Amino acid sequence: MADTATPTVIRRADYAPPAFLIDTVALEFDLVPERTVVRNTMRVRRNPDAAHAAHFELMGEQLEFVSASIDGTPHSAVRTHEHGLSVDNVPDAFELTLVSLCNPTENTTLSGLYVSSDNFFTQCEAEGFRRITYFLDRPDVMATYTVTLRADKAAYPVLLSNGNLLDEGDLPDGRHFARWEDPFRKPSYLFALVAGKLVKLEERVRSGSGKEKLLQVWVEPHDLDKTRHAMDSLINSIRWDEQRFGLELDLDRFMIVAVGDFNMGAMENKGLNIFNTKYVLANPETATDTDFANIEAVVGHEYFHNWTGNRVTCRDWFQLSLKEGLTVFRDQEFSADMAGGATDEAARATKRIEDVRVLRQMQFAEDAGPMAHPVRPESYVEINNFYTMTVYEKGSEVVRMYQTLFGRDGFRRGMDLYFKRHDGQAVTCDDFRHALADANGRDLAQFERWYSQAGTPRVTVSTHYDAAQHRYRVTLSQGYGDAAPTARETQKGPLLIPFAIGLIGANGADLPLRLEGETGASGTTRVLEFTQTEQTFTFVDIAEKPLPSLLRNFSAPVIVEYDYSAEELAFLLAHDSDPFNRWEAGQRLATRELLSLAARAATGASLQLDDSVVNAFAQVLTDETLSPSFRELALMLPSETYLAEQMPESNPAAVHTARQFVRRRLAEALKNDWLAIYERHQTPGDYEATPDAGGHRALKNLALAYLAELADPADAVRLAGAQYDAANNMTDRAAALSALLTAATAGDGRRAQEALEDFYRRFEKEPLVIDKWFALQATQRGSAQRPVIDIVRALMSHPAFNLKNPNRARSLIFSFCAANPAQFHAEDGSGYAFWADQVIALDALNPQVAARLARSLELWRRFTPALREKMRGALEKVAAQVKSRDVREIVEKALG
Ligand code: B3K
Ligand code: ZN
């Protein structure tokens, strides 16, 4: 639908309770692909806590109105309009029945009711329910639902909806029905139905209190052999939530359904989670170690929403992080516990590092651009644009800070109180904060700023050692630097920052910590409560000048500025007892070196790599006391995107030159070590999806990737070719193919070409693997003779490409535009022209997906002048042509 007028801005400050409440909803569906009839009977009453309203206003989109009746009598005082339906002359309490039609086949937005592979699916969050029936489609309207589904039995043998199955049976004309009831009150965004030809893996388990639960994973018949891992992940999630938070599954039955056309990862509909196939289907031949880990995390995430999101939901969409930040935190903790239990700090750190890397690369960038917003946004045009890194990942960091401040037990007390107070309610981020504060006897008024201030805080650290007094002073100051454009919008005051610190002695061991005023030393890591703009903490009894280990385990989502020397960073990399900070030291060292090389590359100067960097990396590489997965993370250089953002003016070409130069130098200088690592970390025998085996594969494949960088990549081609042929799992096969593609840049590309062709033939019937095939090509290095844009454009006409399928669009278009910066930002602007064409094409099909792609140029102002102008041109072209509210909000903010 075209929105030509200025789009309506929705503001948090304008929240008002709904004029009416809906207590029960009875839905009847006659499912027909082009013409589905929906009959919706609601018990409605006036909200005693709201102002009187003359009409009952219901939202509706893309619906054809058929009829209305009140208390069984046809009602004609009804008016349809652009946003839905107005019902006049309504009593204080009444039963309203509405009949309407929709067209699931034509629905390419994948919001509301749609068809994918001839089956029916729904997606209602945030505002998709109004595309199914007229409704008060807002999360503070909670009702119990009964759902009757009727459809052709041969075409749609399986009929699912939320809750428990009440009844099913045959109808005349080859049709059948199923009736479902969800006993829990829920907001409309948690409604779901699925109908079609699906099969299931099912298992019965007992919950903590001994009740039997039926668990099902529903997929298309040919995918049944890829459901075991999702089922195991679900069972582990159920156990974990019982143990860690005392939260039990509340339904008799819990279902996961996989669908190939889906806008995001998955959806937590009550009792009927609907998942992108990418986060369900896995077996060793088709899924990588990363896929296995992601499935576990997403299954956990959606399951954990059953309490954080569904039992206690959001009052309005500004509170989105109440459920998303909290649930991301819970899934991160779940994954860490699965990898390392509560005590294996090194294994837990691996997960922490991965999460922080995502936060810094994506959320910090978001916070420095035109889409910057607080964890609890103040306004939006299209709510779907606010399912962001800030709401999810920074939101999770905000929740983590409560746990850092109060400990695991204190955090648990807060959660218990939160559920005690708010079970069954639609609440706010303030309610959550108050529960945490009250349960721990604390005033957390200042902590609210984490919800209301956008931008990434910077903490500047200075230290002073008084050798005579054995005192060590640490002065912290906080602010937002000048990189936060939204500083204008929100008033900024100092935050309560839990700042974890350790002090390291010359022998590499942690020093016992005693702050001035304390009676004795305790512990070696201290969480300082940093609450003022500037604050000094004095440690006493410090017999030697220490080296500070700052913000251990990344205790707050901030940027730390401290002037470490290269030697100090190498020392921390070798000795810090905090595994996160060990990794961090290596990243700082590498970042600094890479940025100075990039600055030289930008002027065309020659490049040289400091030996200290090579030595520091060599030490990590050969340190057999470190786990393989930690070494893999430590030896991976910061991404080109992250590095470019750290430059005064982003210059992707210079960053690429610098990073490639360093990769090749590390490959050459440590060639024998890489070869040795490659041999030593083989995992012969059957594939095991364990963190340990995955760590070996990751390190081995990193070695292979470095070897592929050599000027003469013959060894890499030989090893990768053999690995490709012999692989019994997708991790190794995809890594080998990737190494062959890299080596093809320097040498002869025939082996890579053969492997690419083989890969396609082998996996032609596995859409998720073909996505990898597209993505590997879109993210490859390319060359002057064969720029990747040409390859991508050619692949757009490959018979397997389909713009309507979001996974496929992401695998080719998004991979190129967001994960191949050196090629995307080609000087001639060809990448931007391609981007503009694709945003415009997607806008007409699927605004949510288009709006995601639209975000790839939002940091345009930070680039070198030549690129900046071309980016602006592409943005203007898009702004002039797109129609959806979704994309317009993004490009208009970008052009600002
Ligand atoms: N709650 C959904 C996301 C819905 C996105 C709507 N555009 C998945 C999740 O976060 O668990
Ligand atoms: Zn979520």
pLDDT tens string 12-67? 999 999 999 999 999 999 999 999 999 999 999 999 999 999 999 999 999 999 99
Question: Which of 110, 259, 294, 387, when mutated, tests ligand 1's pocket best, judged by the most ligand atoms within 8 Å of its CB?
Answer: 387
Residue 302 has pLDDT above 50, yes or no: yes
Q: Is the CB of 267 under 6 A from ligand 1?
A: yes
Give residue 342's pLDDT. 76
For residue 268, the ligand 1 atom closest to its alpha carbon is 11
Q: Buried b vs exposed e over 358-385: b needs ≥16 C-beta within 10 Å? A: ebbbbbbbbbbbbbbbbbbbbebbbbbb
Whether 507 and 543 share a structural domain:
yes
d(CA 178, CA 170) in angstroms, rounded, equals: 9
pLDDT tens digit sequence for 417-476: 999 999 999 999 999 999 999 999 999 999 999 999 999 999 999 999 999 999 999 999
What value does the mean pLDDT take over residues 205-229? 98
Tokens of 366: 């978001």
643, 655 Cβ separation under 8 angstroms: yes
Whether 100 and 202 share a structural domain:
yes
**Within 10 A of 81 (CB to CB), how many other CB atoms are there?**
9
Residue 794 domain-assigned (yes or no): yes
- Smallest Cα–Cα separation from 191: which of 250, 263, 136? 136
d(CA 828, CA 866) in angstroms, rounded, equals: 9
What CATH number corresponds to the domain at position 185?
A: 2.60.40.1730
Q: Place 859 in a pLDDT band, splitting at 50, 70 and 90.
A: very high
Strand partners, 176: 151, 170
Q: Is the CB of 384 under 6 A from ligand 1?
A: yes
Residue 388 domain-assigned (yes or no): yes
Residue 865 domain-assigned (yes or no): yes
Domain range spanning residue 484?
458-571
Whether 528 and 500 share a structural domain:
yes
**Within 10 A of 108 (CB to CB), how many other CB atoms are there?**
16
55, 119 Cβ separation under 8 angstroms: no
Q: Place 490 in a pLDDT band, splitting at 50, 70 and 90.
A: low
Residue 3 has pLDDT above 70, yes or no: no
Going from the C-alpha of 61 to that of each of 130, 435, 692, the distances in angstroms are 6, 38, 50
What 3-state DSSP class applies to 158? strand
Whether 417 and 535 share a structural domain:
no
Helices (DSSP H) in 181-288: which residue ranges? 228-245
Q: Is the CB of 324 under 6 A from ligand 1?
A: yes
Residue nearest atom 2 of ligand 1, based on CA coordinates: 267
Whether 155 and 266 share a structural domain:
yes
Q: Looking at the CA of 308, which ligand is closest?
A: 2
Q: Is position 858 annotated as part of the catalytic site?
A: no
Q: Place 491 in a pLDDT band, splitting at 50, 70 and 90.
A: low
| 888 Cα: distance to centroid of ligand 1 (angstroms) | 21
Give residue 2's pLDDT. 46
Q: Place 133 in a pLDDT band, splitting at 50, 70 and 90.
A: very high
How many domains does the chain contain in total?
A: 4
What CATH number corresponds to the domain at position 846?
A: 1.25.50.10
Residue 483 has pLDDT above 70, yes or no: no
Whether 22 and 131 share a structural domain:
yes
- Smallest Cα–Cα separation from 93: which of 45, 141, 24? 45
Residue 493 domain-assigned (yes or no): yes
Triad 539, 542, 543: Cα angle to 5°: 165
Name which of 4-8, 60-64, 210-214, 589-593 the model is least confident about. Answer: 4-8
Q: Looking at the CA of 128, which ligand is closest?
A: 1
Give residue 341's pLDDT. 77
pLDDT tens digit sequence for 612-631: 899 999 999 999 999 999 99
Residue 597 has pLDDT above 70, yes or no: yes
- Smallest Cα–Cα separation from 390: which of 405, 368, 418? 368
Residue 784 has pLDDT above 90, yes or no: no
Question: Which of 191, 262, 267, 330, when mutated, tests ligand 1's pocket best, judged by the most ligand atoms within 8 Å of its CB?
Answer: 267
What 3-state DSSP class applies to 2? coil
183, 164 Cβ separation under 8 angstroms: yes
Q: Which of 571, 603, 623 is the last residue of a domain?
A: 571
Q: Is the CB of 853 under 6 A from ligand 1?
A: no
Residue 748 has pLDDT above 90, yes or no: no
Give residue 783's pLDDT. 84
Q: Is 670 left (phi over 0), alpha (psi -120 to 50) or beta?
A: alpha
Whether 273 and 351 share a structural domain:
no
Q: Which of 529, 544, 571 is the last residue of a domain?
A: 571
CA torsion angle 25 31 34 39 (round to 10): -30
| 691 Cα: distance to centroid of ligand 2 (angstroms) | 24
Residue 709 has pLDDT above 60, yes or no: yes
Residue 97 domain-assigned (yes or no): yes
Going from the C-alpha of 654 to that of each of 170, 591, 879, the distances in angstroms are 67, 14, 30
Q: Is the CB of 264 under 6 A from ligand 1?
A: yes
d(CA 182, CA 420) in angstroms, rounded, equals: 22
For residue 309, the ligand 1 atom closest to its alpha carbon is 1
Label the pairing between strands 142-152 and 20-30. Answer: parallel
Residue nearest atom 5 of ligand 1, based on CA coordinates: 125
Q: Which of 522, 553, 571 is the last residue of a domain?
A: 571
Give residue 482's pLDDT. 66
| 110 Cα: distance to centroid of ligand 1 (angstroms) | 13
For residue 126, the ligand 1 atom closest to its alpha carbon is 6
Counting every residue, how long is the chain?
896
Residue 597 domain-assigned (yes or no): no
Residues 6+ apart with CB under 8 A from 717: 708, 740, 743, 747, 751
Q: What end-to-end distance do the CA atoms of the chain give, in Å?
A: 23
Whether 319 and 370 share a structural domain:
yes
Residue 333 domain-assigned (yes or no): yes
Whether 233 and 373 share a structural domain:
no
Question: Which of 110, 111, 125, when mutated, tests ligand 1's pocket best, judged by the most ligand atoms within 8 Å of its CB?
Answer: 125
Whether 82 and 196 share a structural domain:
yes
139, 187 Cβ separation under 8 angstroms: yes
Label the pairing between strands 313-314 and 266-267. Answer: unpaired
Whether 435 and 556 share a structural domain:
no
| 268 Cα: distance to centroid of ligand 1 (angstroms) | 7
For residue 265, the ligand 1 atom closest to its alpha carbon is 8
* Predicted TM-score of the model (pTM): 0.98
Cis upstream peptide for 126 (omega within 30°): yes
Residue 486 has pLDDT above 60, yes or no: no
Tokens of 620: 């990590």
Whether 447 and 472 share a structural domain:
no
61, 268, 302, 382: which one is catalytic?
302
Q: Is the CB of 126 under 6 A from ligand 1?
A: yes
What value does the mean pLDDT take over residues 237-250? 98
What CATH number corresponds to the domain at position 340?
A: 1.10.390.10
What value does the mean pLDDT take over residues 551-574? 97
Percent of the chain with pLDDT strictly greater than 90 = 95
Strand partners, 536: 475
For residue 848, the ligand 1 atom closest to its alpha carbon is 7
Tokens of 708: 């592929």
Q: Is 604 left (phi over 0), alpha (psi -120 to 50) or beta?
A: left
What 3-state DSSP class applies to 241? helix
Residue 666 domain-assigned (yes or no): no
d(CA 600, CA 583) in angstroms, rounded, equals: 26
CA torsion angle 226 231 233 236 (round to 10): -160
